Amino acid sequence: MNVRTATPLEPCGPSNHEDCGLRLILGRLGEQWTVMTLAELSAGPRRYRELERALEGISQRMMTLTLRRLERDGHVLRHVAPTVPPSVTYELSDLGRSFADHIAGLVAWSRRYKWEIEMAQAAYDTHPEI
């Protein structure tokens, strides 16, 4: 017997699940560094190199791409100080902070149920249930 949720995930239309703009937002979460970048920026503004060091293992290419996409989506603000050498600072916009707040819940959930999911995967992989 499965308890139904009070508020089931609502489709976009009447039995219509066409892309109602969800991928626009959720697609970002599929990108490896987006969540970590938002996590780091949610603690305060960061310079390019600071982010790069915090997200150990990220390539320059992906650091720049991730920041550009977040900036394009309006989640991140980019400030350039015309010094030599240049100093570029990134920080969350209000929209980005709102976004980060929401995915924070998902991140917490992920941490909490990581074990259950790993167990389920292990069980699935060992059983020849396919």
Partner DNA sequence: CAGCATCCTCTATGATACTG
Partner DNA sequence: CAGTATCATAGAGGATGCTG
Shortest Cβ distance from residue 6 to DNA (Å)? 28
**Contact with DNA (CB under 7 A) among 21, 44, 85, 128:** 85
**DSSP assignment letter at 89:** E
Is residue 17 a contact residue for its own copies (CB under 8 A)?
yes
Contact flag: residue 86 with DNA (CB under 7 A): yes
CB of 76 to DNA, least distance (A): 11
CB of 31 to its own copies, least distance (A): 7
The answer to whether the CB of 101 falls within 8 A of the CB of 38 is no
**Token representation of residue 32:** 């490896």
107 binds its own copies (CB under 8 A): yes
Please enumerate in sequence order all residues whose Cβ is within 8 A of that of 38, keeping only pairs 6 or more positions apart, or say none. 70, 75, 92, 96, 99, 100, 103
